[in-house]
Structure 1
């Protein structure tokens, strides 16, 4: 599973970082993905971050 953040859509709310810091971090005023492959043990949290993103900037690829 891979996660992506659309930098043009991201509003920098930081919610994804709060939900899944193992995958996301803030880079200035935008979120970014910090792992190439989402670790199995945080897949649910990563999917939750995708669901909770207020502007749907996160996409998950299986």
Structure 2
């Protein structure tokens, strides 16, 4: 179970993969090529960096 809540707006996501590159603990690819939020123990330290560097500004932390 994850201790943080992040979501990716798939309508605005351009699937560039920067979030996955910067924070693979929190993000990954689905089988259909969309970004998914991964389950992890605790909030990954890299999450804020991925949010700040998203060119589509489509990642939110709740």
- TM-score band w.r.t. shorter chain: 0.7 to 0.9
Say how many residue pairs are matched: 58
Question: Structure 2: 5+ residue runs without aligned partners?
Answer: none
State the TM-score, normalized to the length of structure 2: 0.79
More helix by share: 1
State the TM-score, normalized to the length of structure 1: 0.79
1:29 is displaced (CA, Å) by 3.3
Over the residues paired in the alignment, what is the CA RMSD in angstroms?
1.7
User: Would you identify which runs of 4 or more consecutive aligned residues in structure 1 move more than 3 Å?
Assistant: none
